[in-house]
């Protein structure tokens, strides 16, 4: 019978077959004396195709261990267990590996294959225990012996650093992240001048069509324009070029949506995906314990660390401003390792512990650890978000500086196409004397279906209303279908995505936002700049965007929104659009003082120079 070699496991001296990938394992199994059940190989082949197509749920069903006979060739059984990891079914993989260990006590190849998979998943103690059982049988100078020594090293580091012992089900990569960041808790920080910005690097995931991406692009472009034109903003000198670093600015996924804006301003732009990946030994770190920790970070942290540290070392920024949770995860530690004096963690909405669909366990570990590192600061674009993060991370509100968004008045150019659409809609709704509108993405957080139910409720109480919705997204078709079923389809104009939002918004009498989650919703500010009053749920920083009872109303709840309350508050504002009594001059002064682009730039530069103009505690 041929000996089957499992990937990454050294063959016994007598081994005649060496296989390095799953298909070759199957080929070896087919040549073995013990036949493989035809239906099992078919299941496996289908699963491989499904994994390639990223249909992991269906792949896991094909790889149910119950479908695999205990008498099947060992190479197939090991490959099957490993494929379950690729199908994102780790519990089933463990079940099969444990079955194999019980049936084949002391079988080195099974122990090594299982330990490798556990190690990759962060389960250091389990991986150590599995491999320790065959440690004496591991060949000298083999990769399996190297893995065992690495596991021993990590286990020793964790035991010496913490009084809390490792648990078998603990993802030790989180502990490695925490300890790696903690190594910098006493780092020296180069003192920066308070009257000059120096080199600033703004970091985010992409240049896609999001609010944070738009603000970062606007900030970078305006700073660079001001540097070239005046060399300063207010009391602060701008003497070094601005740079923007994004994970991707490629056209796939619209990651290049704001790319032209940065290029027009001649901002230095770097793409992390295009950066070379360094070894941890090339990051300028000498401490062996820290090197071992840096070599075992969670994947997203590892991705950024191995690419950005050397970039920062070459670029020498004085300030690294990292926008949004995901970017903080891949860039925060890298900036600290590179010795950046001021590292800003810029939050743009409610924390992931509240937005559960955004949650990753790394976030809390990272934020709490970075908060203890000298030179690391927090910035929020709303006090609501700052309060939520402060409560989650148990930090004082004073740690959070507030820099509100800079919002430009939307242009309202004449468009023959828009005018024709509008005239057709008004002709189709001749009984209507006012228009209730909304501008949002049709996705879960914005709750477009709730908006449609509100429209139906409002139309029943006020038959002379029409509705105007601008935006696209995956729930647009569902919203149209719901409007049809509720009998209000003919009263609603679904514009879809538009590049001329201002031309639509100016036609509204009231703008309504029904979001469950928000950062600082620019649309509420933009509506007021055009003289349109607003009604919104209290999601995120919505209540900070207008003067309650004057240019808008906040509803009682974002979780359990009362549609009757919404109808009443919207109706109370009908007829107030463009009313000088509420929009001039107090509201204009309020908007300019908090949300104008010049004010945002001055506050951002001031904060980046260490002078906080407003904190979440004030």
Model confidence at 284, pLDDT cuts 50, 70, 90, reads very high
Q: How far is CA 270 from CA 33, 275, 330, 342, in A?
A: 56, 8, 15, 20
User: What average pLDDT score do residues 431-439 get?
Assistant: 97
Residue 33, pLDDT > 80, answer no
pLDDT digits (tens, 9 = 90+) for 358-394: 899 999 999 999 999 999 999 999 999 999 999 999 9
**What is the rounded average pLDDT for all residues in the chain?**
92
Q: Which residues pair with 233 in a beta bridge?
A: 236
Half-sphere exposure at residue 269, Cβ-oriented, CA atoms within 13 angstroms: 24
User: What average pLDDT score do residues 176-195 get?
Assistant: 97
Closest-CA residue to 438 (of 526, 378, 312, 315): 526
Distance CA 558, CA 576 (A): 25
Residue 466, pLDDT > 50, answer yes
> Which pLDDT score, from 0 to 100, does residue 582 have?
86
Domain map of the chain by residue range?
22-170, 200-402, 416-595
User: What average pLDDT score do residues 311-325 get?
Assistant: 98
> Which pLDDT score, from 0 to 100, does residue 6 have?
36
Rounded to 5°, the CA angle 199-204-209 comes to 125
Neighbours of 198 (CB within 10 A): 18
> Which pLDDT score, from 0 to 100, does residue 357 have?
81
> Which pLDDT score, from 0 to 100, does residue 580 have?
87
> Which pLDDT score, from 0 to 100, does residue 348 have?
92
Query: 416-595 belongs to which homologous superfamily?
Result: Glycogen Phosphorylase B; (3.40.50.2000)
Model confidence at 9, pLDDT cuts 50, 70, 90, reads very low
User: What average pLDDT score do residues 289-311 get?
Assistant: 98
Greatest mean pLDDT among 10-19, 36-45, 500-509 lies in 500-509
Closest-CA residue to 187 (of 272, 300, 302, 287): 287
Residue 268, pLDDT > 70, answer yes
Model confidence at 591, pLDDT cuts 50, 70, 90, reads very high
> Which pLDDT score, from 0 to 100, does residue 38 have?
53
> Which pLDDT score, from 0 to 100, does residue 63 have?
95
Model confidence at 17, pLDDT cuts 50, 70, 90, reads very low
> Which pLDDT score, from 0 to 100, does residue 22 have?
47
Closest-CA residue to 105 (of 137, 139, 82, 79): 137
> Which pLDDT score, from 0 to 100, does residue 586 have?
84
User: What average pLDDT score do residues 446-452 get?
Assistant: 98
Residue 324, pLDDT > 90, answer yes
> Which pLDDT score, from 0 to 100, does residue 553 have?
97
Model confidence at 83, pLDDT cuts 50, 70, 90, reads very high
Q: What are phi and psi of 375, to 5 degrees?
A: 90, -5
Closest-CA residue to 537 (of 567, 557, 560): 557
Domain 22-170 is found in CATH 1.25.40.10: yes
Long-range residue pairs from 156-159, CB within 8 A, at least 24 positions apart, any chain: 157/289, 157/292, 157/293, 158/124
Residue 90, pLDDT > 70, answer yes
List the 552-554 sheet strands across, edge first: 492-496, 465-470, 434-439, 510-513, 534-536, 552-554
Q: What CATH code is assigned to 200-402?
A: 3.40.50.2000
Q: What are phi and psi of 338, to 5 degrees?
A: -75, -5
> Which pLDDT score, from 0 to 100, does residue 578 have?
87
Closest-CA residue to 590 (of 544, 549, 535): 544
Distance CA 37, CA 472 (A): 50
Pairing of strands 232-233, 236-237: antiparallel
On the question of a common fold for 22-170 and 200-402, the answer reads no
Sequence-distant (6+) residues with CB within 8 A of 430 are none
Q: Are 490 and 459 in contact (CB under 8 A)?
A: no
Closest-CA residue to 452 (of 425, 479, 491, 481): 479
Model confidence at 8, pLDDT cuts 50, 70, 90, reads very low
Rounded to 5°, the CA angle 212-276-265 comes to 40
Share of the chain above pLDDT 90, in %: 87
């Amino acid at each position: 019978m041929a000996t089957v070699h499992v990937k990454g496991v050294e063959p016994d001296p007598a081994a005649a077959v060496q296989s390095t990938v799953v298909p070759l394992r199957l080929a070896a199994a087919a040549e073995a004396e013990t036949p493989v059940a035809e239906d099992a190989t078919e299941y496996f082949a289908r699963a491989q195709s499904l994994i390639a197509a990223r249909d992991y749920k269906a792949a896991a069903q094909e790889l149910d261990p119950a479908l695999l006979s205990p008498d099947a060739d060992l190479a197939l059984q090991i490959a099957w267990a490993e494929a379950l990891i690729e199908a994102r079914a780790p519990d089933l993989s463990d079940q099969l590996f444990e079955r194999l260990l019980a049936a084949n006590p002391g079988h080195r190849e099974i122990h090594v294959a299982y330990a490798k998979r556990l190690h990759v998943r962060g389960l250091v103690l389990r991986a150590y225990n599995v491999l320790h059982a065959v440690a004496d049988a591991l060949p000298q100078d083999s990769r399996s012996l190297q893995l065992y020594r690495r596991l021993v090293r990590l286990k020793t580091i964790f035991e010496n650093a913490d009084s809390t012992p490792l648990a078998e089900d603990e993802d030790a990569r989180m502990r490695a992240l925490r300890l790696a960041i903690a190594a910098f808790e006493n780092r020296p920080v180069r003192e920066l001048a308070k009257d000059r910005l120096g080199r600033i690097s703004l970091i985010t995931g992409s240049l896609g069509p999001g609010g944070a991406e738009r603000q970062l692009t606007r900030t970078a472009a305006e700073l660079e324009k001001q540097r070239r034109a005046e060399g300063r903003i207010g009391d602060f000198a701008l003497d070094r070029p601005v740079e923007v670093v994004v994970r991707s600015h490629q056209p796939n996924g619209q990651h290049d949506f704001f790319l032209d804006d940065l290029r027009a301003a001649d901002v230095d732009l770097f793409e992390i995906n295009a950066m070379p990946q360094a070894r941890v030994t090339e990051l300028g770190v000498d401490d062996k314990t820290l090197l071992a920790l840096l070599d075992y970070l969670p994947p997203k942290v590892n991705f950024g660390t191995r690419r950005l540290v050397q970039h920062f070392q070459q670029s020498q920024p004085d300030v690294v401003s990292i926008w949004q949770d995901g970017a903080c995860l891949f860039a925060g530690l890298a900036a600290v390792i590179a010795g950046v004096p001021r590292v800003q963690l810029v939050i743009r909405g409610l924390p992931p512990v509240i937005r559960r669909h955004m949650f990753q366990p790394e976030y809390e570990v990272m934020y709490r650890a970075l908060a203890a590192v000298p030179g690391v600061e927090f910035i929020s674009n709303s006090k609501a978000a700052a309060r939520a993060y402060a409560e989650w991370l148990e930090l004082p509100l004073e740690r959070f500086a507030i820099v509100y968004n800079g919002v430009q008045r939307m242009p309202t150019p004449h468009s023959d196409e828009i005018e024709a659409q509008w005239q057709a809609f008004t002709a189709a709704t001749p009984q209507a004397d006012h228009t209730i509108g909304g501008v949002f993405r049709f996705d879960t957080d914005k709750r477009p279906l709730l908006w449609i139910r509100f429209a139906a409720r409002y139309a029943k109480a006020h038959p002379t209303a029409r509705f105007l919705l601008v935006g696209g997204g995956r729930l647009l078709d569902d919203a149209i279908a719901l409007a049809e079923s509720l009998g209000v389809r003919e009263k609603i104009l679904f514009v879809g995505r538009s590049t001329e939002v201002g031309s639509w918004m100016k036609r509204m009498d009231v703008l309504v936002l029904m979001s469950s989650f928000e950062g600082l919703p620019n649309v509420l500010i933009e509506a007021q700049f055009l003289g349109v009053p607003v009604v919104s749920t209290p999601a995120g920083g919505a209540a900070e965007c207008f003067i309650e009872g004057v240019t808008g109303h906040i509803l009682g709840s974002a979780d359990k929104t009362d549609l009757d309350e919404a109808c009443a508050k919207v109706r109370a504002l009908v007829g107030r659009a463009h009313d000088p009594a509420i929009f001039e001059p107090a509201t204009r002064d309020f908007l300019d003082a908090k949300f104008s682009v010049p004010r945002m730039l001055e506050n951002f530069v001031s904060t980046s120079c260490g002078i906080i103009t407003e904190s979440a505690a004030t």
